[in-house]
Amino acid sequence: MVSQQMLELGTARSVIRELFEYGKQRAAVVGADQVFDFSLGNPSVPAPPQVNQTAVKILTEQPDLIHCYTSAQGDAQARERFAQSLNRRFGGDYTADQLYLTVGAAAALCCVFRGLTCPGDEFVVLAPYFPEYGVFIRSAGAQMVVVPPEIEHFQIDFDALEKAITPHTKGVVVNSPNNPSGVVYSQATLERLAALLTQKSGEYGHPIYLISDEPYREIAFSGVTVPWIPHLYRDTIVCYSFSKSLSLPGERLGYVLVPGQVTDAGQVYAAVAGAGRALGYVNAPSLFQQVTSLCCDLTADLAVYERNCALLTGALREMGYHVAQPGGAFYLFPRSLEADDLAFSERAKQFDLLLVPGSGFGAPGHVRIAYCVQTEMIERALPRFQALADSYK
Ligand code: PLP
């Protein structure tokens, strides 16, 4: 007898992984260059050269030190470098002891949900949302409450959000730049969100934490600003990752930032650390604590994502697809050409286009296109998108 919940998680592959596996099988039949796999958010640009140089330097100069356990919250010097970088960039007074280093943003989120959850708690997520939130929140013993999407611009449907917030709400999760829509929440949207959460926290007599999941923070296109949310709302907890900005998804390095201004900041930080302990994370990978902290002011060459976005958005719109304007990340979330996004994704497969149905992101009637691929592949895929559109005429 095993845990039913874990058995289900372990056997039911995510739709994204399902498509990815299908793509590999299909490539064996028709050839890899004839399969247009837009399923996975795996960065296509290499990490900046300084990352490898720094790793080599550390491995050469400190071979006896680097493979050790670190403090559970992360090496003090590494956390200090992250704190100073945040202060330089966003003008705060963050300190090393407000940072808890994690195995990517996924672990950061798990530590925050688990650290905050008391019996009966709920976390509100805004569709379209990263599907793993459901897994992380439920595993922490909380309920996930979904706010339906505002499908014109993918900002926030505030009437729906207000209805979703109850005395049980422990936190609201935001992700901007967003996976899967690519949309960046505007300053006005975030100010309105902050005002609503401040009002509701007062009404219910307890803080409603805003959990800002921001692995795409640096991937913002020309003219788009990604507001620094802790400046707008006091009770913001930041979950960050170097998976996308430095193109290091396999190295698993991220952090939780619990700014000192957060209500009960010391307790929240300790509970996040306690959750990391309960989950057996021990410490984030020690080599990459050092490497990322020495390279945290750099990014991979992210410009290619903006070029891919312009190419794909322009072409799809000309073909008649409806696409909300993205401001960053590396995803497009067009409407499917029939109401049933699963059927549309199936039909796209006939053209060897692998597009992820929007239902899994809480936004049926859409598909996600991860365009963090070679530009040349997008160019070759355009006739397939046209043929897919023509098949509906
Ligand atoms: N949050 C969002 C919105 C993501 O898209 C991802 C990964 O794709 C994660 C969290 C997890 O990132 P990490 O690889 O750092 O665990």
215 lines ligand 1 (CB under 6 A): yes
Positive or negative torsion for Cα 351, 357, 363, 368:
negative
- Please provide the DSSP assignment of 160-184 as one string: HHHHH--TTEEEEEE-SS-TTT---
Mean of the per-residue pLDDT values of the chain: 96
What tokens appear for 269 in the block? 């930080």
The pLDDT value recorded for residue 64 is 77
Q: Per DSSP, which regions of 258-380 are E strands?
A: 331-332, 353-354, 356-357, 367-370
Strand partners, 332: 369
50 C-alpha to ligand 1 centroid (Å): 23
Strand order of the β-sheet with 331-332 is 331-332, 367-370, 356-357
pLDDT digits (tens, 9 = 90+) for 163-221: 999 999 999 999 999 999 999 999 999 999 999 999 999 999 999 999 999 999 999 99
Q: Does ligand 1 lie within 6 Å of residue 39's CB atom?
A: no
- Is the distance from the beta carbon of residue 112 to the nearest atom of ligand 1 less than 6 Å? no
Taking the CA of residue 104 as reference, the ligand 1 atom at the shortest distance is 15
241 C-beta closer than 6 A to ligand 1: yes
206 burial level (CB within 10 Å; 0-12, 13-18, 19+) = middle
**331-332/356-357 β-pairing:** unpaired
Ligand 1 pocket mutation, candidates 42, 183, 244, 247, criterion most atoms within 8 A of CB? 244
d(CA 381, CA 385): 7
Question: Rounded to whole angstroms, how far apart are CA atoms 342 and 338?
Answer: 9
Each residue of 230-249: pLDDT tens digit?
Answer: 999 999 999 999 999 999 99
CA of 106 to the centre of ligand 1 (A): 6
pLDDT of residue 14: 78
| Cis before 48? omega within 30 | no
Quote the strand ranges of the chain, DSSP E: 36-37, 99-102, 122-126, 143-147, 169-174, 209-213, 236-241, 254-257, 331-332, 353-354, 356-357, 367-370
| Residue percentage of the chain with pLDDT more than 90 | 94
Secondary structure class of 147 (helix, strand, coil): strand
Best probe residue, ligand 1, of 101, 212, 226, 243 (max atoms within 8 Å of C-beta): 243
Ligand 1 centroid vs 318 CA: distance in angstroms?
Answer: 31
Pocket residue to mutate for ligand 1, from 42, 101, 132, 252, most atoms within 8 A of Cβ: 132
For the chain, the domains span 4-47+301-390, 68-294
Class of domain 4-47+301-390: alpha beta
Which CATH architecture describes the domain 68-294?
Answer: 3-Layer(aba) Sandwich (3.40)
